[in-house]
Amino acid sequence: MRVLVYKRTHNGDPDRFGRFGIWDCMGKIRDREFDAVIGVGGISHKPRMIGIDGKVNWIGIGPRKTVEYCKQGYDATIVRFEYFQDFGMFNDVKMPAFRKQAPRLSRRMYVGNVRHCIVDETHRAEFREVVKLLKLVVEVENFGRGAKDGDGKSRPCTKKTRKMKSGDQSCK
């Protein structure tokens, strides 16, 4: 499993429907191969002003990519997710503290001044932290390896999670 982790400086992308890229946020980075995305607030002045600094802002698991017209006025890759959880912008779910939930990964992102990274099984300690974060949204033990329920369907979402309908902007 490959997880894109990136620092955010603003709200609004993804939107309340979980569409990542509507403002072309992270540009071509969205075209990379990943199984999940974790958006964390940066620690500079702008993220502090809007209250997202140092916190896990959103998590998307199970990307579905399409090329669509974005709000910047051109075609861009838009990513929707099978499972999406926004931790604050569009609901009252408290944003988890990134440093507390993932101390090694947050150190890499903040001290190393890394804007984005892909974490996979080769980064063992950081990967354990990423899996812990993904579990805030859905049980992910075998996610990305074709894990299914006994009836062959994808895992059900938790109470906190919105499961996106394929090709639809509404949530269940």
DSSP string, 2-50: -EEEEEES-SSSS-TT--BTTT-TTGGGGGS--SEEEEEE-SSHHHHHH
- pLDDT tens digits along 100-147: 999 999 999 999 999 999 999 999 999 999 999 999 988 654 454 443
Spell out the domain ranges in the chain.
3-163
- Token pair recorded at residue 4: 């894109």
Percentage of the chain exceeding pLDDT 90: 66
The amino acid at residue 131 is V
pLDDT of residue 161: 40
* pLDDT-flagged residues of the chain (< 70): 89-92, 139-172
pLDDT of residue 8: 94
Residue-wise burial string across 10-27, b where 16 or more C-beta atoms lie within 10 A, e elsewhere: ebebbbebbbbbbbbbbe
> The pTM is what?
0.80
